[in-house]
Amino acid sequence: MTTSDATSIETIRNLALVGPTAAGKTTLAEALLLHSGAITAAGSVERGSTVSDHDPLEIKTQHSLQASLMHAAHGGCRIHLIDTPGLPDFIGQSLAALEAVETAAIVISAAAGIEPMARRMMEYAGQRQLDRLIIVNKIDAEGADLPALLADIQATFGKECLPLNLPDAGATRVVDCFYNRAGHSDFGALADAHRALVEQVVEVDGAFVDRYLNDGDVDASELHAPLEQALREGHLIPVCFVSARTGAGVAELLDVIARLLPNPGEGNPPDFLNGEGDAARLMHARPDPAAHVLAHVFKVSIDPYVGKLGFVRVHQGTIGPATQLYVGDGRKPFKVGHLYRRQGKNQTEVASAGPGDICVIGKVDELQFDAVLHDAAEDDHIHLKPLPFPVPVHGIALLPKRRGDEQRMWEIMNKLVAEDPCLLIEHVPATNETIARGLGELHLRVLLDRLREVYKFDVDTRAPRIAYRETITHGAAAQYRHKKQSGGAGQFGEVHLRVEPLARGAGFEFVDQVKGGTIPGQFMPAVEKGVREALSEGVIAGFPVQDLRVIVYDGKHHAVDSKEVAFVTAGKRAFQAAIREAAAVVLEPIARLSVSAPESAMGAITGDLSARRGIVSGTDSDRQGQLTILGEAPLAELADYQNRLNAMTAGQGSYTLALSHYEAVPPAVQQQLVGQYKVQEE
């Protein structure tokens, strides 16, 4: 069934529920849907019956693992809600959802207080210049000290965090303090909270400041424009109190969303870029339904039975079922077939989607995450400023249980990567492994569950091998004669060569200095082939050899018995002999490390890095109470680093890695690696 969609931009509200796990975001979404009449009965996380957590793995784990889109109607407005995961391993879904909304609603548990995920999402939403709303949930929790929590919120996020309503009657209900200046709450008289709100709002508008100073007050009903300006500028971060479990404050929260939060024309527009690099031109979308289309794909879902679905926020223009759109800088357009409005896993077809709308486009293979859709066939690349996604550093090596299933594994993994901006799949030639990388152990465990339960595909896993290398520390020479006689024509080839070290990272050079035809020119490619075989196989510990020059300067051949295979073998053996005489060493990858953690954990972190053969190169303060520690450490020492970091920071630390360079391993480590290789050869 197709529904009419003539909603004006003034009556649309878009917000994402973000924050830590167990803050009650999913239960709050369920309560909002129930009180708005969108559903007739509330589901529960424990029973696996909520609208937003509909994925089988979400029901199994009782955690949101993906961003879920819902909608409700209240006060003449259509409200688009996006419920997001609270587990740090799935923060990519939460960050992506911020691109679709004007307001980030950070949900904080009154029982748990301000947790690291709340801090991170407040920071990310501020960086994207979104309006921010703090929702204190579970106000009826046993032992909750709500005045102390509000004071903590203001100390952590700033004095601009002011309550729009306050708990009353023992947290069984809430009372408005923006429109209402009389009466009392559990916090005391409402007049003080009302005055603080009005003073904070009028500060952004000089005319209202004069009125306030002259008249002593300004009616809240007149403050819509300065209120929206204060929200846009981060000069006001409203705080609302609610209990999703009992329903206290839910109706009042719906009123706040409808009456006070920005419509798509009032929030800060996203920064579109047209072009690449320094030549890119900044563009702002105009919420005009008659303008050219600008829309953004903030989520991709690939259903094994339905196909690819693109979750799209329309910023400019109007999309209909017959609209022809381009994807980014693609030159081939596609025609929109069906548009849907999503309610959890259910969807209803709609006739059109205009500025501010969030819709789903189905069965279009060209859609990809973070793509910008437009209807102008321009040569430039239209895109949004990149999102600050965490770098996936936790890895596991994947191997299909059945031989010959490698291609199918890659096809499935590419689908999963398309859905998750913080999931990476790569083939590492140095170790010949397929590596999946994510943000943590849980992230990768859910990936394996999805492979098995959704795609019915089983894999074996192991820790990724470290991509060690071998090189030499000084020059050496060697020769090898390959001679084989077996009845008829024999094999003969002799190679004399030298090896010389090159600068770290220089790679490999092969030089032909043979004179007098002692090795005929047609056999020199065979010599190089043999050398390169030994390069890739390794010599002392089984790792690829790099950063050296090989000079072939002499040899011998036989007019009848010399063949390519003989010179391949002679070149390989001569090279191996020279490497053993050249004081070969094993090199290990050194990673650049950036650790973000509370200042109180600095001593533990720097000490731990030293114990892992790491070096701290500097520190930067990036926000109140937080520190970024910069350094380097061997990649082999960082396999379990997130677990160690969690223990040192009570789960508040995060880190990123990037390959820096290669260095020689300590003698004890080299001895161990060489010994392991000899055992394997035997």
Structural domains in the chain?
8-259 (3.40.50.300), 271-384 (2.40.30.10), 394-462 (3.30.70.870), 470-583 (3.30.230.10), 586-669 (3.30.70.240)
Query: pLDDT at residue 623 above 60?
Result: no
Question: What is the tens place of the pLDDT at every residue in 211-257?
Answer: 877 777 778 888 899 999 999 999 999 999 999 999 999 999 999 99
Q: Are 153 and 239 in contact (CB under 8 A)?
A: yes
Distance of alpha carbon 663 from alpha carbon 469, whole angstroms: 9
Q: Give SS3 for 72.
A: strand
% helix, strand, coil for the chain, step of 5: 30, 30, 40
For residues 376-400, give the mean pLDDT.
79
> What pLDDT does 661 receive?
87
Question: What is the tens place of the pLDDT at every residue in 626-636?
Answer: 788 889 999 88
> What pLDDT does 289 receive?
92
Distance of alpha carbon 552 from alpha carbon 574, whole angstroms: 10
Query: Side-chain half-sphere of 109: how many Cα atoms within 13 Å?
Result: 19
Q: Give SS3 for 481.
A: strand
Question: What is the tens place of the pLDDT at every residue in 25-64?
Answer: 999 999 999 999 999 999 999 999 999 999 999 999 999 9
Express as a percent the part of the chain with pLDDT over 70.
Answer: 97
Q: How confident is the model at residue 353 (pLDDT cuts 50, 70, 90)?
A: very high
Q: What angle do CA 250, 256, 261 make, to 5 degrees?
A: 135
Q: Where are the alpha helices (DSSP H) in 146-249?
A: 146-157, 190-202, 206-215, 224-232
Pick the closest to residue 333 from 343, 342, 323 (CA basis). Answer: 323
Q: Give SS3 for 637.
A: helix
Distance of alpha carbon 585 from alpha carbon 658, whole angstroms: 23
Helix 602-611 × helix 641-649 angle, to 10°:
150
Question: Which residues are CB-contacts of 33 (< 8 A; sequence separation ≥ 6)?
Answer: 39, 42, 51, 70, 72, 81
Q: What angle do CA 295, 300, 303 make, to 5 degrees?
A: 140
- 369 is written with which tokens? 């995450």
Query: pLDDT at residue 409 above 60?
Result: yes
Q: Give SS3 for 604.
A: helix
Most confident range (mean pLDDT) of 72-86, 202-216, 219-233, 368-382 is: 72-86
Most confident range (mean pLDDT) of 327-336, 421-430, 568-577 is: 568-577
Question: What is the tens place of the pLDDT at every residue in 553-579?
Answer: 999 999 888 999 999 999 999 999 999
Distance of alpha carbon 551 from alpha carbon 293, whole angstroms: 62
**Distance from first CA to last CA of the chain, Å, rounded?**
70
Distance of alpha carbon 403 from alpha carbon 4, whole angstroms: 52
Q: How confident is the model at residue 378 (pLDDT cuts 50, 70, 90)?
A: low
Let me know if 150 is exposed, middle or buried by CB neighbors in 10 A (0-12, 13-18, 19+): buried
Q: How confident is the model at residue 297 (pLDDT cuts 50, 70, 90)?
A: very high
DSSP single-letter state for residue 319: B
For residues 364-378, give the mean pLDDT.
84
Distance of alpha carbon 40 from alpha carbon 523, whole angstroms: 82
Query: pLDDT at residue 1 above 60?
Result: no
Largest alpha-carbon pair distance within the chain?
A: 115
> What pLDDT does 682 receive?
61
> What pLDDT does 377 receive?
64
Distance of alpha carbon 676 from alpha carbon 224, whole angstroms: 72
Q: Are 355 and 9 in contact (CB under 8 A)?
A: yes
Question: What is the tens place of the pLDDT at every residue in 134-177?
Answer: 999 999 999 899 999 999 999 999 999 999 999 999 999 999 99
Q: Give SS3 for 600.
A: helix
Distance of alpha carbon 276 from alpha carbon 455, whole angstroms: 38
Backbone dihedral region of 346: left (phi > 0), alpha (psi from -120 to 50 degrees) or beta? Answer: beta
Q: What angle do CA 223, 226, 232 make, to 5 degrees?
A: 135
Q: How confident is the model at residue 182 (pLDDT cuts 50, 70, 90)?
A: confident
Pick the closest to residue 597 from 658, 645, 656 (CA basis). Answer: 645
What mean pLDDT is reported for the chain? 90
Q: How confident is the model at residue 67 (pLDDT cuts 50, 70, 90)?
A: very high
Q: Where are the alpha helices (DSSP H) in 15-145?
A: 25-36, 56-61, 91-98, 116-127
Number of residues in the chain: 682
> What pLDDT does 2 receive?
44
Q: How confident is the model at residue 624 (pLDDT cuts 50, 70, 90)?
A: low
DSSP single-letter state for residue 144: -
Let me know if 1 is exposed, middle or buried by CB neighbors in 10 A (0-12, 13-18, 19+): exposed
Pick the closest to residue 240 from 223, 267, 220, 260 (CA basis). Answer: 260
> What pLDDT does 388 receive?
76
Query: Side-chain half-sphere of 561: how many Cα atoms within 13 Å?
Result: 18
Q: How confident is the model at residue 654 (pLDDT cuts 50, 70, 90)?
A: confident
590: Cα separation from own chain's centroid: 23
Residue reference for tokens 């199994």: 60
